[in-house]
Structure 1
Amino acid sequence: MTTTSSAPIRYLDSADVARLCADLPIVDLVHETLLAVGRGEAGVTPEAALRWTTTAGDPARSLILPAWTGDNYGCKIINASLGNHRYGLPRAAGLIVLNDPETAQPVCVMEGGRISALRTAGVSMAAVRALRGREGVESVAFLGCGRQAGVHHELLTSLFPAVGEFWLYDHDAARAEEFADAVRAADPRVAVTVVAHAREAVERAGLTIAVTTTTKPYVELDWLPAGSIFVNVSLDDAAESLLLGCEHLFVDDWDLVVADEHRLLGALARAGLVSGPGEPAPNGGRAVDADLPGLLRGSAPRPIGEHDRTVVNPFGMGVHDIALAAAVHARAIDTGRGIPLPR
């Protein structure tokens, strides 16, 4: 679609986005986008980051993630402050801007929090589905019980029907109990247990999903039971022993991991302890098995044994935000949703 400079910009608020996201095949869209990245038909450019400390002493940041997939071009602006819970606000919120592929004119601006959460959970679920299939997940641990846990649970329950038990940990016990009530309400047949320590949850689960705000790695290799998967969504939960000692390690984009100066896996790479997919393992270290496009294509170099422990480290790629936003925008055009904004 090509627009003229005088055409209005379509704005989609959070309610519009939520309605238009309903019933979208999120995991399949993420899966196809990862494969497109692997074929060179989608990708990202370097992101920009602005970080500061609020007057209350909380870490805050604003990220701008440009990306493209097919003939869809745009960027996500996602902001976060760790102190937002005191104001009754979600930790993260933002906007997604889509551009006309011919004129480069902005054509749509939409609230980005819901899409950002969905694409994050969608990447996790696409990776786990590739590793275990639909019937291979029976017990799940959540480290962190906030918004991301809720969205991961939302996608997980529709994708993995064999899940029968959940183990929940959050440093805020009240938040863990609130999430436990929501999980039970969604499916009274499942067993839900809130534990006092993160290790108790990890040791009991075949799949652990870490969605915390920690900046200090703490999950050690010996916490994981044989044959389990650890999805390192929040990126700082997995300790060095886990990243270096797990039998299999997958990332979404190795270049993004290495360029980041704040997360442990990038630091290990710069220290010469971790090499990228397809590279020889360094002395005393390990290589990443494959990126997620390779995993989804079935081209990982080594089979995953029954007792192998696997870590998925999804740094986060703005290309998924653009893919989902493009699907939402198409629905908005078809249904006439949105507010026209004059230029």
Structure 2
Amino acid sequence: MAPPLMTVIGAGDIAAEIDRHRPELTEVVRAAYLVHDAGDSSNPHSSFLRFPHRDRSRIISLPAYLGGEFEVAGNKWIASFPDNTRRGLPRASATLILNDCATGYPFACLESSIVSATRTAASAVLGAQTLLGTRRARRVGIVGTGLIARHVWRFLRELGWEIGGFRLFDLDPAAADRFGAAIGSAAGAADAEIVVADRVEDAFTDCDLVLLTTVAGEPHVHDPCLLAHHPVVLHLSLRDLAPELILAAQNFTDDVDHAVRERTSLHLTEQRTGNRDFIDGTLGDLLRGRRRRDPGRPAVFSPFGLGVLDLAVGQWVHDRVVAAGRGHRESGFFTGAED
């Protein structure tokens, strides 16, 4: 039996497949969550490689197996170096290896910063729709207007969300201005009110959906009164909210054991309270109807980001690229390997 082909898929082919297929990818991510919720997966804790001389930089390993309709294993290796932006480079870079579950052989290597951003955005928008019960928001507040925020906006747009306005905050006001200009020039968004906020708190005011996509390592939002109007908060960067805000809200995540570690806001809240009673459930609980959002309370969705989602999106991309005859296929990659 010959070893399998190895297919290398670059960012251009990945972006081409993801673009204009975001509604389908949202359903791929939904299916992956349901398979994980059913227990047909293995998702070990991520491993964090840190550097003693670079406090903000890290490389994360996310191994996983996803069964059900997917039946694929693999590992994402993603680097986050925030200082890259000063060099004109993206903050994050990543690769994703997919393994055949029958033989264990790797069969694909994908550029994965786009895969990672796509699964994060799809998860966020799925969580927003599930918690709000609609694809409509009077105003959306966005804190951190970088890559992930742009991907979430594309999902909102392509899934046909009706949004009346935006409140944008970034430590770099020019970045918020550019993000606002991109939104304003998009089809169907011409009538949306777009305001660049001077303070992070202004991105919460009068917004029924708030998106947090920063690189904060410690909580910087402390006032629970910001949640008094009961918004849905997509806490994608995981470390923005002080325990006071967590305790003031209903809290949902993707996997409790994964999310309550590595000094996330949920982890800090557990350390303060000595328990996890403040966590109301997972997105899987919401999708299966075991838990419901209380509309009379704010809701915070803090997804840690599961490797099984990378596998689901990566396999979807791989299958489409190969079917279209693209990607670099190497037949001799494993030739000469020892038995």
* CA shift digits 1:150-180 (9 cap, x unpaired): 0010001223532110110001011110111
Map 1:36-51 to 2 at 5 A. Answer: 36-51=35-50
Aligned to 2:8: 11
2:217 to 210, 215, 226: 215
Aligned to 1:67: 64
Letter in 2 for 1:228: P
Correspondence 1:264 to 2:265: yes
**Paired residues, what number?**
324
Q: CA deviation at 1:333?
A: 2.0
Q: CA deviation at 1:338?
A: 0.6
Cα pair 2:243 2:268 within 8 Å, conserved: no
Query: Per the alignment, in what secondary structure is the counterpart of residue 315 of structure 2?
Result: helix
CA distance in 2, matches of 1:135, 1:124: 13
CA distance in 2, matches of 1:139, 1:43: 38
- Unaligned regions of 5+ residues in structure 1, if any? 276-280, 282-286
Aligned to 2:280: 289
* CA shift digits 1:226-284 (9 cap, x unpaired): 231111100111111111111x11011111123x2332311322444441xxxxx3xxx
CA distance in 1, matches of 2:144, 2:135: 24
Cα pair 1:18 1:114 within 8 Å, conserved: yes
2:191 to 169, 189, 192: 189
Map 1:1-343 to 2 at 5 A. Answer: 4-5=2-3, 7-22=4-19, 23-24=21-22, 25-52=24-51, 57=54, 59-70=56-67, 71-186=71-186, 187-219=189-221, 220-246=223-249, 248-258=250-260, 260-275=261-276, 281=277, 287-300=278-291, 303-305=293-295, 307-341=296-330, 342-343=332-333
Query: Per the alignment, in what secondary structure is the counterpart of residue 16 of structure 1?
Result: helix
CA distance in 2, matches of 1:256, 1:113: 21
CA distance in 2, matches of 1:267, 1:227: 22
Cα pair distance change 1:274/1:242, threshold 3 Å: farther
The sequence identity of aligned pairs, in percent, is: 29
Query: Per the alignment, in what secondary structure is the counterpart of residue 214 of structure 2?
Result: coil
Cα pair 2:57 2:80 within 8 Å, conserved: yes
RMSD: 1.7
Q: CA deviation at 1:20?
A: 2.1
Query: Per the alignment, in what secondary structure is the counterpart of residue 62 of structure 2?
Result: strand
Task: Calculate the TM-score normalised by the size of structure 1.
Answer: 0.90
Cα pair 2:206 2:229 within 8 Å, conserved: no
CA distance in 2, matches of 1:268, 1:183: 35
141-150 vs 126-135, greater mean Cα deviation? 126-135
Letter in 2 for 1:234: S
Q: CA deviation at 1:218?
A: 2.2
CA distance in 2, matches of 1:4, 1:20: 29
Q: CA deviation at 1:303?
A: 4.9
Cα pair distance change 1:66/1:215, threshold 3 Å: same
Q: CA deviation at 1:143?
A: 0.1
Query: Per the alignment, in what secondary structure is the counterpart of residue 104 of structure 2?
Result: coil
After TM superposition, the runs of 4+ consecutive aligned structure 1 residues lying more than 6 A away are: none
CA distance in 1, matches of 2:158, 2:133: 13
38-47 vs 172-181, greater mean Cα deviation? 38-47
Letter in 2 for 1:207: L
264-273 vs 101-110, greater mean Cα deviation? 264-273
* CA shift digits 1:287-342 (9 cap, x unpaired): 31111100111111x5513x311111111111100000011111122111111234
* CA shift digits 1:50-109 (9 cap, x unpaired): 01156xx56211111011212111111111101010111111110000011111111000
Cα pair 1:169 1:195 within 8 Å, conserved: yes
Cα pair distance change 1:332/1:267, threshold 3 Å: same
Cα pair distance change 1:37/1:109, threshold 3 Å: same
